[in-house]
Chains A and B, each alone.
Chain A
Amino acid sequence: MAGTLDFSPDDRYNAFITTCRQAPFSDGALAGTAVAVKDNISTAGIRTTCASRILESYVPPYDAYVVGLLRKAGAAIVGKTNMDEFGMGTTTETSAFGPTRNPADPSRVPGGSSGGSAAAVAADLVPMALGTDTGGSIRCPAAFCGIVGLKPTYGRVSRYGLVAYANSLEQIGPMTRTVEDASRLMSVIAKYDPRDSTMLDRPYDHRPSADIAGLRIGIPEEYFGEGVDPRVAETVRNAIAVLEGLGAETVTVSIPGMRHALAAYYVICTSEASSNLARFDGVRYGPAVDTRKTWHEAYQDLREEKFGTEVRRRVMLGTFALSAGYAGRYYAKAQVARRNIMQDFERALRDADIIAGPTMPTVAFRLGEKTDPLSMYLSDILTVPANLAGIPAISVPCGRIDGLPVGLQLMGRQFEDERVVDAAYAYEQEVRA
């Protein structure tokens, strides 16, 4: 079986930056399945913008490793999805191509930064999409749009061909309507690639099982405390009770390093971004620079014009955090905090097999509601710890508040993605029955 898929979606939520109206596919595990790809993942011959004006007409000469695996599995790559510019945001509002709207309520944001992928799946335009998760960018939009999103263990999916934002934190992962599909897509993309030197050879090949009898679920109080909407906390507690009804047991655990998590995350990701985004100089990829100007002048003028405000803010924050006299206070301390959080999770995951909590502290915001950068950053508090610790984390829909979806987040030990998938599958099968 091979052919071409006609794809002309009604993209009323602005989920796509680019669509491929005639998408070729071939034989394989995903033969003929329409898959949308976040627009920071390189696709040979299909422009890849990172939702930024600076890459508006960039057409990669090669495929990301995961894209090659999708093609080999027979998938039809039908388009590139909208996102926060370079992945820097929690709402998809920083896209240079306009915001994506939430199919559950178009006056609300879909979450971010993989908001286009989430909206495309939630609106039934595609059954599957790839997102990327640096500090929650798969799980947040999955929770806000009411779909499933998996951030794999760091090092399990190749980042070759992913336009880097914060290398030590980010992973590509599946976004789907069902846990079974998330697992299918994960089985296709999680294969060893020697070109990503941060990968380990731990391929994922798993069929989910709903048998979770005896599973120990750790409940960290930090995930139900201040800043978490009590209605979200209650919805998630009810979901955990469903898992208990299936034979799981709960234990109280603690992640004391949580109080440093958000600050550590933002220091590390902006520091890495300030280095990574230096390559966007308008010379090698971008629009032409004015070669009559001096290097710095040309570079600064172009970056002021082509980068959005949030990207410039983060590059500047990272530059500051790494600058002489401040690196010890910010970057070095953030690395220690990261190590502490990693150890907190290792300890907690000796008493428990997985850890459960809400994915996001609230339901989806209204478009334009979050205008202050710090208050936007604070909404990432429950998702960034898994990135700092490098552990797998899945968000699965667990109910609605006033019609708006809530996500249950399940985190596990490194390279035990299968276990969080099984727990999410058990929950999903039980509530669908």
Chain B
Amino acid sequence: MITESDIEHIAELADIGILKDEVPEFTTQFNAILDYFEVLDTVTGEGAPAAGITNVFREDEPRSCLTQEAAIANAGSTENGFIKAPRVM
């Protein structure tokens, strides 16, 4: 059973804003969905690694890429060729 304060905590973990008046509805919907997920408790067996395929690696060598201008073109706020972000501390 998920409570309203659990929902607020999950929203915080997910960095997804949630409005106070959305919390009760999200809580009800979460509980209905998690009730349905309980069927997974009856799963048996072990996950086996995929066979017949291998990881794809390459040498870490520089390749052609976007220009700095193109790379920051979609950023909402920039300064002197850099992206401006909110403060972390």
CB pair A295–B86 under 8 Å, yes or no, is yes
Q: Output the nearest chain B residue to A290 by Cβ-Cβ distance.
A: B86
A373 and B33 in contact, given A312-B16, A332-B47 (Cβ under 8 angstroms): yes
B16 neighbours in A (Cβ, 8 Å): 300, 303-304, 307, 312, 315-316, 319
Q: Mark B31-53, 1 if CB is under 8 A from A, else 0.
A: 01100110111111111100001
CB pair B10–A284 under 8 Å, yes or no, is no
B-binding segment of A58-66, A234-242, A357-365? A58-66
B18 neighbours in A (Cβ, 8 Å): 304, 312
- Report how many residues on chain A are interfacial, defined by Cβ distance under 8 Å: 67
A283 and B76 in contact, given A61-B66, A289-B85 (Cβ under 8 angstroms): yes
CB pair A337–B43 under 8 Å, yes or no, is yes
- Residues 1-51 (chain B) with a chain A CB within 8 angstroms: 2, 7, 10-19, 22, 26, 29-30, 32-33, 36-37, 39-48
B74 contacts A by Cβ under 8 Å: yes
CB pair A289–B36 under 8 Å, yes or no, is no
A262 neighbours in B (Cβ, 8 Å): 36
Closest chain A CB from B26 CB (angstroms): 7
Of the candidates B7, B14, B19, B66, the one whose C-beta lies within 8 Å of that of A62 is B66
CB pair A336–B47 under 8 Å, yes or no, is yes
Closest chain A CB from B76 CB (angstroms): 3
B2 neighbours in A (Cβ, 8 Å): 320
Of the candidates A298, A307, A332, the one whose C-beta lies within 8 Å of that of B86 is A298
Q: How far is the CA of A290 from the CA of B30 in the complex (A)?
A: 31
- Residues 279-295 (chain A) with a chain B CB within 8 angstroms: 282-295
Q: Output the nearest chain B residue to A62 by Cβ-Cβ distance.
A: B66
B19 neighbours in A (Cβ, 8 Å): 304
Q: How far is the CA of A282 from the CA of B16 in the complex (A)?
A: 12
Q: Mark A25-36, 1 if CB is under 8 A from B, else 0.
A: 000000000000
- Residues 303-329 (chain A) with a chain B CB within 8 angstroms: 303-305, 307, 309, 312-313, 315-320, 323, 329
CB pair B87–A295 under 8 Å, yes or no, is yes
Closest chain A CB from B19 CB (angstroms): 7
Q: Output the nearest chain B residue to A300 by Cβ-Cβ distance.
A: B17
Q: How far is the CA of A62 from the CA of B64 in the complex (A)?
A: 13
B41 neighbours in A (Cβ, 8 Å): 329, 333
A160 contacts B by Cβ under 8 Å: no
A285 neighbours in B (Cβ, 8 Å): 74-75
A313 neighbours in B (Cβ, 8 Å): 26, 29
Of the candidates A200, A296, A307, A377, the one whose C-beta lies within 8 Å of that of B33 is A377
Q: How far is the CA of A284 from the CA of B74 in the complex (A)?
A: 6
CB pair B39–A263 under 8 Å, yes or no, is yes
Q: How far is the CA of A294 from the CA of B87 in the complex (A)?
A: 5
Q: How far is the CA of A72 from the CA of B77 in the complex (A)?
A: 35
Q: How far is the CA of A293 from the CA of B15 in the complex (A)?
A: 14
- Residues 346-399 (chain A) with a chain B CB within 8 angstroms: 372-374, 377
A317 and B76 in contact, given A295-B86, A339-B45 (Cβ under 8 angstroms): no
A266 neighbours in B (Cβ, 8 Å): 33, 37
A297 neighbours in B (Cβ, 8 Å): 86
Of the candidates A287, A289, A316, the one whose C-beta lies within 8 Å of that of B14 is A316
A305 neighbours in B (Cβ, 8 Å): 17
A-B contacts, 8 listed (Cβ < 8 Å):
A194-B56, A286-B76, A312-B16, A316-B11, A320-B10, A320-B30, A323-B13, A329-B41
Q: State the 10 A-B residue pairs at the shortest beta-carbon distance, nearest first.
A: A304-B17, A288-B76, A298-B86, A319-B14, A300-B17, A61-B70, A197-B56, A288-B77, A333-B40, A337-B43
Q: A290-B86, A295-B87 are in contact. List 16 more A-B contacts (CB 8 A).
A: A57-B74, A197-B55, A263-B40, A266-B37, A284-B75, A288-B77, A291-B84, A291-B86, A300-B15, A304-B19, A316-B10, A317-B30, A334-B40, A336-B44, A336-B45, A374-B29
- B-binding residues in A (CB < 8 A): 57-59, 61-62, 194, 197, 200, 259-260, 262-264, 266-267, 274, 278, 282-305, 307, 309, 312-313, 315-320, 323, 329-330, 332-340, 372-374, 377
